[in-house]
Amino acid sequence: MPDTARPPRRQPSRLGPTAVWGSIAFLALLTVAPLLYMVSTAFKQAKDVYTPDLIPGSPTLDNFRYIFSEIPILRYLFNSFLVAAVVTVLSLFFHSMAGYALARLKFRGRDTIFSGIYATLLISLPLIMVPLFLVAKTLGILDSYLGMILPAVFNAFGIFFLRQFYLSFPDDVEEAARLDGCGYWRIYWQVILPMSRPLLTALAVFFFLGTWNSFLWPLTIVQNPDLIPVQVGISNFQGQFSAAWNYSMAASTVAALPTLILFFVFQKQFTETIKTSGGR
Amino acid sequence: MTSGRRPLSQRGRETLAGYLFVAPSVIGMFVFLVLPMIASLTISFFRVSGFGDYEFIGLDNYRTLLSDPVFASSLKTTGLFTLAFVPTLFTVSLCLALLVKKQRRGIGLLRSLFFAPNVVSLVVVGLVWQFLLTDHVGAVNRSLERMGLSGESWLGNPRYALFAVVVISVWFFMGYYMIIFLNGLQDIPSAYYEAARLDGAGRWRSFWNVTWPLLRPTSLFVLVMTTLTAIGAAGIFDLIYVMTKGGPDYSTQVVMFYIYQRAFQLNDFGYAAAMAAVVSFALMIIMFVMLRITKGGKVDA
């Protein structure tokens, strides 16, 4: 581009800050509009479903009453909650143990093990679904809570994070504990874990949301109607009431609200996790 | 050397502790990730029924693949999806990051709003968009008509369905990558921008001369992650399962969805494993080429 196109030493014309802020806010609202529309439709009467208003003309709780009485959505929510909570706790426990050892202990093969763990980041569920199904079948955990939980626990993501974090720990804390005669388990349990609480909280939110929202694996292995998690439950529900969007949106709202609340409460920790994942 | 017993046993203890600490994760990852990955290749040489009968058939599954028009079209659809999804998502999330970069009042909330779709499950997202895109009466077509444009049957017409899936996926993922880009942008020292301004560079020039080159590691990360998402990850699957089931007329039948159908709806495990093996191999090559090219510096010369 020729330099003469622009008069030298002049700032490019600037939009007023308010105008910029206004347009960002407008875009942000446009982004969440589908979600607002979902919530709004959940409160609409069947005859008003296709009215364009965001605020329902005559709001009603009937849709929620209907889905709570006609489908076992509480059961679905409980299943999702149980699976997500157990996955989160087990993941944090095992990942922090591995992260601690890989960062702070010296042993043969450590770097090889770490590279191996890191390389598994490239393996994605759809690519291994068939053999994973067969593994689950062999272990006898098809159609069970354990079948939903165990394969979801083990991933390189948490180990990688926690290892990075433990690498930056100062030596003296651990040293002091060792001089007091603490073994490795005591150091991990009484020194390392308490010090990693902020990161563990952030990862917990991340794992909980991820498991709560997972669909493909439970869809594949769960048959028992009593074990169905909420994502699978509402996708079945859609088949039964295909055009009853007021019910469908009420069910979707119930499935999405816990995650949205969790996110807005812990947004800072949550975005920190994402930031570090793109770090390097 | 007179290495006494104490230091040696100390080292031994550290080693033992190390192994014990990593054991649960390593065993778990081996059983649930690595073993399936290896098994996938093995199973692809067998005809497997869902009930557990194995029959060795050599390369037959692969031979069938070559002449399976649905597999070919699913690869094409996956390619089209990736080519549309990756650059669009890259551009949109970078623009968003630049837009919300500056610290101002309430910017945290706005960033969170852009991110909000990403914390909702893709099942819910699929349901909501199906509702918004309903023919004739859906909110999207209503709004288009009010603006004097004509609505379409977005999910019902093979010409538009994949396009709709791309747009919705970008909407879903853009907040996530916005945050990644934001982090990359905040790592660029402001001194560079000041220097550029002193040299008389305008916004556009300082973007090309400062931001773009220094953002390269982040860009590369985003490129790799979004390609993985587009081709291999489960995310897109959920959306397609809920919204289109691969239709209409196979227009949204991406390869992952076809693998799932062959395996779990037709019990054709061996054939599905062969497809998964081909995709894994292709994915490895794509990643390799991508890293090669971007490291060669040809992309952002």
pLDDT in tens, A59-71: 899 999 999 998 8
Mean pLDDT of chain B: 88
Residue A195 · residue A169 · CB < 8 Å? yes
A208 touches chain B (CB under 8 A): no
Residue B165 pLDDT:
95
Closest CB from A120, A270, A271 relative to B29: A120
Range in A139-143, A274-278, B159-163 the model is least confident about: A274-278
Q: Do A256 and B121 touch (CB under 8 A)?
A: yes
B280 has a chain A CB within 8 A of its CB: yes
Q: Residue A132: which residues within 8 A CB-CB, separation 6 or more?
A: A125, A151, A217, B32, B36
B200 in contact with chain A, both atoms CB, cutoff 8 A: yes
CB contact under 8 A, A29 and B171: no
Q: Which of A25, A154, A260 sits opposite B120 (nearest CB)?
A: A260
**pLDDT for position A7:** 47
Residue B7 has pLDDT above 70, yes or no: no
pLDDT at A10 over 90: no
Strands B54-56 and B46-48: antiparallel
Q: How far apart are the C-alpha atoms of B64 and B70, rounded to whole Å?
A: 11
pLDDT at position B300: 41
pLDDT in tens, A216-262: 999 999 999 999 999 999 988 776 766 789 999 999 999 999 999 99
- b/e map B171-182, b = 16+ CB within 10 Å: bbbbbbbbbbbb
**Structure-token pair, residue A223:** 């048959």
pLDDT in tens, B197-243: 898 888 889 899 899 999 988 999 899 889 988 988 767 889 999 99
Q: pLDDT band at B139, cuts 50/70/90?
A: confident
Closest chain B residue to A239 measured between Cα atoms? B242
Triad A191, A267, A32: Cα angle to 5°: 160
A36 has pLDDT over 90: yes
* β-sheet bridge partners, residue B54: B48
Nearest-Å Rg of the Cα atoms of chain A is 25
Name the closest residue on chain A to residue B282, using Cα atoms: A127
Q: What percent of chain B has pLDDT over 70?
A: 94
Higher pLDDT, A201 or A2: A201
- Angle between helices A156-167 and A197-212 in degrees, nearest 10: 170
For A78, A142, B87, the CA distances from A129, given in Å and listed in that order, are: 25, 13, 28
pLDDT value at B8 more than 80: no
Q: How far apart are CA B86 and CA A24, in angstroms?
A: 23
ipTM rounded to 2 decimals: 0.88
What pLDDT does B48 receive?
82
In chain B, the residue whose alpha carbon lies closest to the alpha carbon of A148 is: B32
- What is the overall mean pLDDT for chain A? 88
**pLDDT of amino acid B137:** 81
Task: Look at the pTM and tell me if it is higher than 0.80.
Answer: yes
Residue B156, pLDDT above cutoff 50: yes
pLDDT at B161 (0 to 100): 93
Residues 136-155, chain B, touching A (beta carbon < 8 A): 137-139, 142-143
User: Would the pLDDT of A108 be above 60?
Assistant: yes
Residue B285 at interface with chain A, using a CB cutoff of 8 Å: no
